[in-house]
Amino acid sequence: MLDDLKYIHSRDGDDALGIAEHQCEQLEHDFELPQLSGPFRNVVYAGMGGSALAGLLSKSWPGYKIPFEVVRDYHIPPYVAPDTLFIASSYSGDTEETLSCLAEAEKANAKIAVITNGGQLEEQAIAKKYPMAKIPPSQQPRYAVFYCLRALVTMLEKAGLVAEAEADKQLKLAAEFLRGEVESWAAVVPTSKNPAKQLALEIVGKTPIIYAGPLLAPVAYKWKIDFNENAKNTAWWGQYPEVSHNEFIGWSSHPFDKPFSVIDLRSKLEHQRINQRFELTERLLSGKRPAPNTVEVQGTTLLEQLVWAANFGDFVSIYLALLNGVNPAPVELVEKFKKELR
């Protein structure tokens, strides 16, 4: 089925695979932003769903010199003050939780910046002259994550707050690395040589549970979202070492033949004790849970590994959508939920 290009084109009506194939280009997009003058004591980044992912990824790379918090709620933390850099991120510009946080940040007199593609958020940014990174159009917010990451890193570089040196240059180098990697995941590559198709076939009919260490935890969460929205499939994720302290024991009862597919995202850059936990978990839970599908994340730098794993997850979830017989891009039920909520 996954090698039948006619079937793929009939199901992938919005060309999600084509979008995934070109996501590396988003890391090269230049955003024109002014210098953001501080000093700042902390950064609060408000966003939901796909718009929040860039903030979560940025905590792994490039990291920050001051406290950085991602808020996925209607309210901002009580410590937000005039020396806070508050970033409102919403692809649509109409996310009600983010707009609520923005209103509270304004009352707290925080320094405000905006990342959006339009909507009310863009209107407010223009009217109030907030620094704004305008995200180019995309089919869905989750398909614009690398745009948002690029915008966020550019914004925080302008404020002198990122921990990594030459982050802009590193993003462009990571784009070149990723451009070469995606070739082996494309639809024209047969299943026998395509690791993304192979993993999707291992998952179909099951609920994926994705595990990662602290560095790749944001990617594990992104995989969960991708399985939910692309494949219309339930999924969960967990992070080591916390998994070892509770979730680990949850696998120890009930029949072995559980309707789950375990996916371990492994990086050699993680703390050696994290990788020991993966190995010990696999040994002690042998016969008590399905054997994990181990994904050895590629790349020599943390940024390369993050973008590789994020993009690989896009392909796996899109192929799973095709196996599930659904169009990966639309999320009609989410849109209906939002309309009824309003």
Positions marked catalytic: 229, 245, 338
CA 87 to CA 105: how far, in whole Å? 9
CA 14 to CA 8: how far, in whole Å? 11
CA 26 to CA 151: how far, in whole Å? 10
Backbone angles phi, psi at 109, to 5 degrees: 60, 30
CA 141 to CA 26: how far, in whole Å? 13
DSSP character at residue 84: E
Name which of 188, 187, 189 is nearest 319 in CA terms. Answer: 187
Cβ-contact 76, 101 below 8 angstroms: yes
Cβ-contact 242, 297 below 8 angstroms: no
At position 322, the amino acid (one-letter code) is: L
